[in-house]
Amino acid sequence: MKFAIIAAGDGSRLAQEGMEVRKPLVRLNGEMMIERLIRIFINQGATGIAVIINSKMPEVADYMQKKQKEMVDSSCPIDLVIKSTPSSMHSFYELSPYLDGEPFCLTTVDTVFAEQDFSAYISCFKECNADGLMAVTDYIDDEKPLYVATDEEMNITGFYDEQHGCRFISGGIYCLRPKALNVLALCIEKGQSRMRNYQRCLVSEGLKLKAYAFPKILDVDHAGDIGKAEEFLSNQE
């Protein structure tokens, strides 16, 4: 199984709030966010990790190129794309050639979760027959959450910008099978953008999506989120 990290945002909100370190290199309890994800993915038996960073972060590029060289002969090589894109969906599209052919898990670099919850999630995906298993949570601390509608068996019936009675929001972690990449190509062809619109297309194209509930998933969007994330992770140890 392959894994992928979107780290192509410009981290403008953190910069505006005085953070001089680029978001992928921000440390949570001493460990860089991008390094933490790579470590966790390797622990899950990743056969490869694809990473996209934007072209305006030379310090992140330097770090990732060194990491790529370190792992070139390992059982989990890194494919690195350095490119600025107009949206997270376009970043995903740039990674898609490295993900085709086997199931994969995709997330963004600032998504913070408990490692034991993630391990259980990956195990569930490997055992289920759905086209996609999407991480959701009822912990809502997001400025513009994507609400996820489910039935009693956690089959996903829709994605909404407004609550519409939904209990869960998207956690920004996606486990998908290769056929989901065909829908991605279709979205790009139609000129669409944003991961939330891609997820809506997965539903409209008839793919079977299930939701997997995490107790808590956080995003590091603001400087104040770093302390929240560190406290959350410390409580998992």
Domain ranges of the chain: 2-234
Query: Over the stretch 65-123, which tens digit does the pLDDT of each residue have?
Result: 999 999 999 999 999 999 999 999 999 999 999 999 999 999 999 999 999 999 999 99
Q: What is the architecture of the domain spanning 2-234?
A: Alpha-Beta Complex (3.90)
In angstroms, the CA 15 to CA 223 distance is 9
Report the chain's terminal Cα–Cα distance, integer Å.
26
DSSP bridge pairs for 3: 49, 105
Q: Tell me if the pTM is above 0.85.
A: yes
Contact between 138 and 13 (Cβ < 8 Å): no
pLDDT at position 17, please?
85
pLDDT at position 77, please?
96
Name the token pair of 128: 């289920």
Half-sphere exposure of 125 (CA within 13 A, CB side): 28
Q: Of 5-14, 29-38, 90-99, 227-236, which range is least confident?
A: 5-14
Q: 227: pLDDT confidence band, cut at 50, 70 and 90?
A: very high
Contact between 178 and 143 (Cβ < 8 Å): no
Q: Is the pLDDT of residue 11 over 80?
A: no
Q: 44: pLDDT confidence band, cut at 50, 70 and 90?
A: very high
Query: Over the stretch 133-192, which tens digit does the pLDDT of each residue have?
Result: 999 999 998 788 999 999 999 999 999 999 989 999 999 999 999 999 999 999 999 999
The answer for residues whose C-beta is within 8 angstroms of residue 146's C-beta and 6 or more apart is 159, 160, 161, 169, 170, 196, 199
The continuous run of DSSP H or E covering 218 comes out as strand 218-219
